[in-house]
Amino acid sequence: MPYYKSPQRLEGTGPNVNFSPEQTYWINSYYIPPIDKGSEISLNVLSDRPGRTTVLLAPYDDVQQVIIGPVLANVAFASDQKELVVFTKANRPGPYFLTITSYNSTYIFYLTSIWSPFYGLRQLVVYAFLLLPFGVVTAYYSRIMESREKMAEQALAGIRRHQEES
């Protein structure tokens, strides 16, 4: 299932914080499941205030948990810019990382590309394999119990016939 890939869309809004003189910015990060090299990536970011947002989209190393280069987008909005639209291609296979920093502003974003819709279920595969023997034993036990019940019903039916004949 994780090898099946189809067009997917990741969307979000943020940040969900109250800005104050002590807290003038907020950084939100989003993990994008593995994308094949050469797959098209579309990113749209719309801010409510011009010049108050920065966007970084780059490949991500799961093992070291770091952003690796070269980055696909690294943009600080200009003083009159409220929106960013990026059409690019994945420069390497693997997961990607989107970081949006907002300075006393809110945003909405949409990222579309092709990845596995089942990527989030990858940890459940281990549990599924662990449950498989339990399922087989349960099915086997169910058949044994069914045959015992059938034998008991036949025995009771035989006793009833024997009592009726006598």
pLDDT tens sequence for the chain (166 residues)? 567 888 999 999 988 888 888 889 999 999 999 999 999 999 999 999 999 999 999 999 988 899 998 999 999 999 999 999 999 999 999 999 999 999 999 999 999 999 988 776 766 667 777 778 887 888 888 888 888 888 888 888 878 777 777 6
Quick check: 35 and 68 in contact, CB under 8 A?
no
SS3 labels along 39-83: CEEEEEEEECCCCCEEEEEEEEECCCCEECCCCCEEEECCCCCCE
Nearest Cα residue to 68 out of 57, 77, 60:
60
- Report the CATH number at residue 61: 2.60.120.380
Chain mean position to CA 110: 15
Neighbour count for residue 2 (Cβ, 10 Å) = 15
How many domains, in total, are found in the chain?
Answer: 2
pTM for the model: 0.71
Q: Are residues 133 and 62 in the same domain?
A: no
Cα–Cα distance for residue pair 12/55, rounded to 1 Å: 14
pLDDT the model gives residue 1: 59
Q: Are residues 127 and 61 in the same domain?
A: no
Q: Are residues 29 and 101 in the same domain?
A: yes
| Residue-number span of the structural domain to which 81 is assigned | 6-119
Q: Are residues 111 and 136 in the same domain?
A: no
The residue written with tokens 């024997």 in the block is 162
Q: Are residues 54 and 100 in the same domain?
A: yes
Report the Cα–Cα distance between both ends of the chain, in Å, rounded: 64
Q: Are residues 61 and 106 in the same domain?
A: yes
pLDDT the model gives residue 124: 67
pLDDT the model gives residue 84: 93
